[in-house]
């Protein structure tokens, strides 16, 4: 599904069967799930306003010592299903990261725009539960706006919106990872959980 200026965003509802969706939600909301607090959910560099949230890294690529969590095996078939239905090639996994935001009525229109990796990769985002707290994908890429310049773009609200996608349980979106993007806290729902896959 194309967005403005050639940003191609693929969106698939019910990318996996309902029972599988329910199992992922049950695992992510279990009292055994390990969530870790981040003062700034999207950036490692200080921008000004911080948007805190919780995360769980289910997989991180490292040639010497890749890290896995008990969720890795549960989530990989989800990614494979998306790639198959979307016609997106898959060679190697970089990271699987779950993100949790709780209800927050204060704050800006969206969190700090970022890219997950400053190298060629693809992003796929799966929504674990029905909630508000949209995803924003911007026209700008890291080829056009470097990490250093992105701080200025964020502070001065220079990023231009290509598309805004609402969370829905079972929905998965994908786009070229070079595009800056942002999440937001839910205002009406108690929580928003999404799973970000980065791969080549």
Domain with 172, as residue range(s), is 4-41+48-199
C-beta of residue 124 within 8 angstroms of C-beta of residue 16: no
Question: Where residue 105 falls among pLDDT bands split at 50, 70, 90?
Answer: confident
Region 137-142 average pLDDT: 97
What is the rounded average pLDDT for all residues in the chain?
91
**pLDDT at residue 49 greater than cutoff 90:** no
Q: Give CA–CA dist 43/166, Å, rounded.
A: 22
> Which run of H or E residues covers position 100?
strand 93-102
DSSP strand pairing (161-165 vs 135-141): antiparallel
* pLDDT attached to residue 107: 64
Task: Classify residue 72 by its DSSP letter.
Answer: H
Distances (CA, A) of 20 to 17, 49, 75, 98, 156: 5, 37, 10, 16, 42
Region 13-42 average pLDDT: 92
Q: Give CA–CA dist 187/177, Å, rounded.
A: 27
Task: Classify residue 5 by its DSSP letter.
Answer: G
**pLDDT at residue 100 greater than cutoff 90:** yes
CA atoms within 13 A on the CB side of 24: 29
Q: How many domains does the chain have?
A: 1
Residue 46: how many CB atoms within 10 A of its CB? 8
Distances (CA, A) of 34 to 30, 116, 174: 9, 21, 26
Residues, the chain:
200
Q: Can you give the pTM of this predicted structure? A: 0.92
Report the CATH number at residue 121. 2.60.120.620
Distances (CA, A) of 183 to 23, 76, 113, 193: 24, 23, 8, 11
**Where is average pLDDT lowest: 18-22, 39-43, 109-113?**
39-43
* pLDDT attached to residue 20: 98
């Amino acid at each position: 599904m194309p967005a403005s200026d050639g940003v191609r965003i693929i969106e698939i509802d019910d990318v996996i069967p309902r029972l599988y969706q329910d199992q992922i939600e049950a695992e992510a909301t279990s009292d055994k799930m390990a969530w870790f607090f981040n003062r700034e959910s999207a950036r490692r560099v200080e921008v000004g306003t911080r948007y805190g949230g919780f995360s769980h890294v289910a997989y991180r690529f490292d040639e010497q010592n890749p890290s896995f969590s008990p969720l890795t095996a549960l989530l990989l078939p989800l990614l494979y299903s998306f790639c198959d239905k979307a016609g997106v090639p898959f060679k190697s996994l970089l990271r699987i990261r779950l993100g949790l935001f709780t209800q927050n009525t204060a704050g800006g229109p969206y969190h700090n725009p970022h890219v997950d990796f400053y190298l060629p990769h693809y992003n796929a985002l799966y929504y674990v539960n029905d909630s508000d707290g949209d995803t924003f994908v911007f026209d700008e890429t890291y080829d056009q706006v470097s990490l250093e310049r992105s701080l200025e773009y964020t502070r001065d609200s220079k990023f231009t919106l290509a598309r805004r996608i609402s969370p829905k349980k079972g929905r998965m979106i994908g786009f070229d990872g070079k595009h800056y993007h942002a999440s937001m806290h839910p205002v009406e729902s108690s929580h928003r959980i999404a799973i970000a896959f980065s791969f080549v």
